[in-house]
Structure 1
Amino acid sequence: MRAVEELVVQPCPQCGVEVRGDRRFTVWCAACDWNVDPQGADEEKQSRLERRRRRMAQEYGERLLGQLAGEAGRPEGERPGRSAAGVLAYTIALLVHGVTLALLAGGLWLVIGDWGGFGMVPGLFLLALAATLRPRLNRLPAGAQVVSRGEAPELYALVDEVAAALGTRSVDVIVLDGQANASVTHLGVRHRVLTLGLPLWEVLSPQERIALLGHEFGHFTHGDTRHGMVVGTAYGSLTTWYYYLSPIENPTALEYLVSLLYLPPRWSITGVLMLLDLLTTRASQRSEYLADAAAARVGFTEAAAGLMDHLLVAESIDMTLYREVNARQMRSSGRVTAKDAEGLWEALAAHLRSVPESEHERRRRVSARRGHSVDATHPPTHLRRALLLRLPPAPASVTADAERTRGLAAELGDRRAAVALELVRDGLDQY
C-alpha cells in the first residue's frame, strides 16, 4: 500500500523561482519562504496564560540550547528538584495542598459541629470543593489495553534493556492506546507505567522506536519537578481553581457582578500559576533536552532526529488516521468488524513514508517561526532537533535486528488489531 505522489511545478509568485512540490502537502518556496506557513499561528484560541507559557517555552528553550550544546555532549547538572527553584516550587505546591486540607478540615468542623443545623450547608459545600481539588494519583483508564510481561516478553525485554542502558528501573505496566504519543508516569505511588500510542509507534523505524523509549526513560533518569507527584498535583488543583473562577460567557447582570468579585482571587491563582511556571519551566525544559540526549545515546543520533521529524508532522499523522478511520466506517455495512479495521496501521505507515523531505523542512521552518512545541512545557521541537545534531554522535547502545523486530510485531499482533478495531468502531473521540 503506497501513497501516490502528486507532483506540481510552478513559479513562485513572490520571487519567481521554480517551485516543485507534492500537491498532497503545502506547496511552498524554499528560497523566500512563500506560503511556508499559510495558516499562521493560531493564538486567538489560546488563553493569555497559555500564550505566556508558550513564549516562556521559546525563550528558555533557546537559552538552554546554547548552554547544553557546549557541555561536552553529555549535558548533566543539578536534578530539578534539588535546585533552589525546585525547593521553592515544592513549598508553593505544599501550600496549595494545605489550602485544600484546610477546606476539608473546615467542612468537617461545620458539618460535625452543627449537625442537623444550617451550618451543614456551607460545610457540605466546602467538603465538595475539597473533593474536587484533592491531589489525584494516576490510574489506568477504563478499558486500557494493558500488555502483560507474559503476553509480550520481547517488548518487555526491549524496554528493560533500554532502562538498564540509562541506569534506571524499568516499568511495571505497558499500555497501548490510539493516540499519536507516548508517555511514562507513576501509577499510584510507586508503580511505573509506559503508554505507547500505536499511531506513533507504527510509523517509526525499529531504531526510532528505541530512541522513543530512550526519551521516555530519560524522564525517569533526570527527573522533572513539574510532573512530579507533589508539584504536578498542585498544578491540577490550581487549574481547577482557575476553571471555577473563569468568567461566564454572555453573563446576566447578576453574573457579571459575581464575575467582578471573582477577579481578585482569579488574579491570585493566575499569579501562583505563573510563579510555578517561572520556577519549573527551566528544569522541565532541561529534562526534555536531557531525555532527547538519552534517546540519542540508546538509539543513535540519526534515529532520535528522525523521531523529532515525526513529532513535527504529528498533525499529519492525526489527519491521516482520521481520514482512514472515516473511510473504513463509511465502507462498513452497519456493524464494524475486525475486517473493516484491517490495514489501518499499514496505511498510516505508508502515508508517513511518502512525506517528502520538503514537507519535513517546511515543518521545521514553521516550528522556528511559531516556537512550536508539543505543549507549553516542552522546548520548541526544532530546538530539540538542533541540539541532537550538535551533540557528538555515538553508537547506539540498544539495537533492534530483524529477528527482534519480527518478534515484537508477532506478539503485539492481537493488540494492534484490537486498538485498530476500537478506533474504527468508536472513532477518535474516545482518545
Structure 2
Amino acid sequence: MSEPHPAAPPSRPLPTPEDERLSWFARQQRASVDRAAERVHRELVAHGHAAKPPLASTGLLTFSAVVLIALVAAFAVLTWATFAPKGWLGWAGVVLGWVVMAGLLPRPHRVADAPTLSSDDFPGTHRLVAALSTELGVRPPASIHVNLDFNAFVTGTGWRLRPALVIGLPCWTCLTDDERIALLGHELGHLVGRDQGRVVVVGQAHRVLERLATLITPLPAGAYSGLTPSTVDDGGWGGTATMNWMGSGLLRVLSLPSLALLLAFERLAARDSQRRECLADLRAADIAGTVATERLMLSMMNTSGLLTLAGAAVRRREDPFEALEQVRARPAPTPTAVSEAHARARATGLRWDDGHPRDDLRLEVITARPVTVDAAALATRRLLVEAADHELRTLRPGLSRELSHELLEACF
C-alpha cells in the first residue's frame, strides 16, 4: 500500500528471526524514516492538507541531478579512454569500467509477474480507476495490472517512469467495497502533485546509487551484506571461515563511500516520501471516508492473519480466494477493538515495511480530521466497485492454483 521507492514492495512477509536482526544500513535507513515520519505526523495532525512541503525536496532534486550529471561525465570519460592509445593494463581498466557502467546505466522499468488489464477486457475496472482519478484531480495511471500480492501499489514504468497501478487480487478479494475505494484512493493519491520530470530525475538517481552500492556489497532489500562468516571449524587462521570474515570486512570498508552516498540520499528522500504516504492516506479518506480508511489500515495490519487463513484453506484443499471472500462479511470492528489496534500498533512499532511510517502515526493522521463522504457520491462509487469486482472475479479460477502454490511455499 505504497508508492514504491525505488521498487514496489512485495506483500508483507511473515516475521522471521532474521527480520529482527537488522543490519547497520537497515537500522540507519529505518531511523531516518522514523525521524521524518514523526515530523510529518506532527505537521499533518496540526495542519492537514495545508501543511507546507519540506524544503528537503529541493535538496533531493539537486542531489539527484548531480548524481546523473556525474554518471554522464563518467560515461564521457570512459568513451574517451576507450579510443585513446593505451597498453594492456589500460585496456583491462576500460573493460572493467564498461562492466561497471553497464551495471549503473538507467534502464526502462517494467512491472514483473503482473498481467496487464486492458480497457477492452476490463472496462469496468478502468472506469472505476478513471472516476476516482478525476475526483482526486489526477490523470489515470498509464496501465493497470493485477498480481498475487496481499498489497497494492503504484510504480513507474518505462524510461519516463509513467505510473502503473498494480492491484493484488488476494488483497482486493478480502476488502469491503468501501475499503476498496480507500485502497485505490490511497494509491491514486500518490499521483497528486506528481511532477513527472522530478520523478524521473529522482527515481533514476536512486537506482544508480543503489546499483553502485550493490556492485561492491550485495544489497538485498533491507540488508547490508549477503556475506556472512562460515560456522564451520576448518582449522583456525587461514581457513575458510577466517577468509570469509576477512573478505566480508574488506568489502564493507570498500563499500562505505557508496553506502554513505546512498544513505545520504535516503535521508533526504525520507521526509518527502513520508509526507506523500500520509497525504495519500488523507486523500483516501476524502473519497472513502475516515471510517473506511481506518478499517482498511486495520485490515492491512492483519496481513499475517490473512496469509494464515488462506494457507489453512489451501492445506484443506479449498480455494484460497473463497476463504478470503469470507473475510469481507466480518462485522465492522467495535470502538474498543479499534482502540486496542491503535495501542497495539503504537506498542509494537508495526509498519507496512521499513520505508513506511509506523501504522499508529498513520492512523492518528487520518483520525485527526474525520471526513464523512456524501452518501450519494459514495453510492455511485460503490456501483463502480461492484462492476470492477465482477470483472476481477473472472481472474480467480486461473490464478487460484498459482496462489495456492505460493502459500504452500511460504508455509514450508
TM-score by length of 1: 0.75
CA distance in 1, matches of 2:21, 2:98: 34
Q: What is residue 393 of structure 1 aligned with on the other side?
A: 371
Q: 1:181 aligns with which of 148, 151, 164?
A: 151
Partner Cα separation in structure 2 for residue 323 and residue 107 of structure 1: 56
> In 1, distance between residues paired with 2:17 and 2:50?
32
Query: Which residue of structure 1 aligns with residue 173 of structure 2?
Result: 202
- In the alignment, the residues of structure 1 paired with residue 36 and residue 201 of structure 2 have an alpha-carbon distance, to the nearest angstrom, of 23
User: Secondary structure, in 3 states, of the residue corresponding to 2:214?
Assistant: helix
Secondary structure of the corresponding residue to residue 186 of structure 2: helix
1:366 aligns with 2:337: no
- Describe the SS at the equivalent of 1:275: helix
> Match of 1:380?
358
Instruction: Note the residue ranges of structure 1 that are not aligned, 5 or more in a row.
Output: 1-38, 329-339
**1:156-195 correspondence to structure 2 within 5 Å:** 156-188=126-158, 189=160, 191-195=162-166
Q: Distance in 1 between matches of 2:95 and 2:312?
A: 48
CA distance in 2, matches of 1:326, 1:110: 61
Identity of aligned residues (%): 26
2:392 aligns with: 412
Matched position secondary structure for 1:184: strand
| Equivalent-residue separation in structure 2 for 1:323 and 1:130 (angstroms) | 48
Matched, 1:289 2:278: yes
Residue pairs, 1:69-80, within 5 angstroms: 69-71=45-47, 73-78=48-53
Residues 144 and 41 of structure 1: is their aligned pair in 2 closer, same or farther, counting only changes over 3 Å?
closer
Measured after TM superposition, the shift of residue 88 of structure 1 is 1.8
CA displacement at 1:218 relative to structure 2: 1.0
Q: In structure 2, how many angstroms separate the alpha carbons of the residues matched to 1:383 and 1:128?
A: 44
Report the counterpart of residue 51 of structure 1 in structure 2.
27
Q: Which has the higher contact order (CA 8 A, sep 6+)?
A: 2
Q: Which residue is 1:22 aligned to? A: none
How has the CA–CA distance of structure 1 residues 74 and 238 changed in structure 2, closer, same or farther, with 3 Å as cutoff? closer
Check 1:204–1:101 CA distance in 2 against 1; reply closer, same or farther (3 A cut).
same
Which whole-Å CA distance do the structure 1 matches of 2:243 and 2:17 have between them?
36
* 360-369 or 189-198, which deviates more: 360-369
The correspondence of residues 121-270 of structure 1 with structure 2, limited to 5 A, is 121-141=92-112, 144-188=114-158, 189=160, 191-223=162-194, 228-246=199-217, 248-250=227-229, 261-270=250-259
Shift of 1:219: 0.7
- Check conservation: 1:103, 1:127, Cα contact below 8 A: no
CA contact (8 A) 1:295 1:304 kept: yes
**What SS does structure 2 have at the residue aligned with 1:395?**
coil
Cα distance between partner residues in 1 of 2:325 and 2:209: 40
Question: What's the counterpart of residue 113 of structure 1?
Answer: 84
Deviates more, 1:178-187 or 1:263-272: 263-272
Quote how far apart the aligned CAs of 1:113 are: 3.4
User: In 1, Cα distance between the equivalents of 2:201 and 2:408?
Assistant: 32
CA distance in 1, matches of 2:286, 2:99: 48
Tell me the secondary structure at the aligned position of residue 145 of structure 2. strand
For residues 151-191 of structure 1, the C-alpha deviation after alignment (integer angstroms, 9 at most, x for no partner) is 11111111111111111101221100000111112322164
> Partner letter of residue 423 of structure 1?
L
- Give the counterpart letter for 1:126 in structure 2: G
| Structure 2: distance between partners of 1:403 and 1:384 | 28
**Separation in 2 of the partners of 1:98 and 1:261?**
29
Q: What does residue 401 of structure 2 align with?
A: 421
Contact map agreement 2:45 2:365 (CA 8 A) in 1: yes
Q: Tell me, yes or no, if the aligned pair for 2:148 and 2:168 is still in contact at 8 Å.
A: yes
Secondary structure in 2 matching 1:192: strand
Q: Distance in 2 between matches of 1:191 and 1:360?
A: 37
State the aligned residue count.
Answer: 372
SS in 1 for 2:350: coil
In structure 1, distance between residues paired with 2:186 and 2:365: 14
Deviation at 1:270, TM superposition (A): 2.9
For residues 386 and 68 of structure 1, do their structure 2 counterparts lie closer, same or farther at Cα, with a shift above 3 Å needed? same
Contact 1:215–1:294, Cα closer than 8 Å, also in 2: yes
Rounded Cα–Cα distance in structure 2 between residues aligned with 1:224 and 1:58? 25
Q: Which residue is 2:5 aligned to? A: none
Return the alpha-carbon distance in structure 1 between the equivalents of residues 393 and 77 of structure 2: 54
Q: Residue 64 of structure 2 contacts residue 201 of structure 2 at CA under 8 Å; is this kept in 1? A: yes
What is the CA distance between 1:42 and its match in structure 2?
A: 6.8
Q: Shift of residue 372 of structure 1?
A: 2.1
Distance of 1:255 and 1:111 partners within structure 2:
35
Superposed, 1:317-336 pairs within 5 Å as 317-328=306-317
Change (3 A) 1:313 1:360: farther
Q: Which amino acid aligns with 1:164?
A: T
Higher helix content, 1 or 2: 2
Give the secondary structure class of the aligned counterpart of 2:116: strand
Identify which of 41, 47, 50 aligns with 1:65. Answer: 41
Corresponding position of 1:308: 297
CA contact under 8 A between 1:54 and 1:376: conserved in structure 2? Answer: yes
Change (3 A) 1:45 1:243: farther
Letter in 2 for 1:249: T
The within-5 A match list for 1:71-90 is 71=47, 73-78=48-53, 84-90=55-61
User: In the TM superposition, what is the alpha-carbon distance from 1:107 to its structure 2 partner?
Assistant: 4.1
- Residue 121 of structure 1 and its aligned partner are, at CA, apart by 2.5
Looking at structure 2, the residues matched to 428 and 97 of structure 1 have their Cα atoms a distance apart, in angstroms, of 43
Distance in structure 1 (CA, Å) of the matches to 2:259 and 2:313: 41
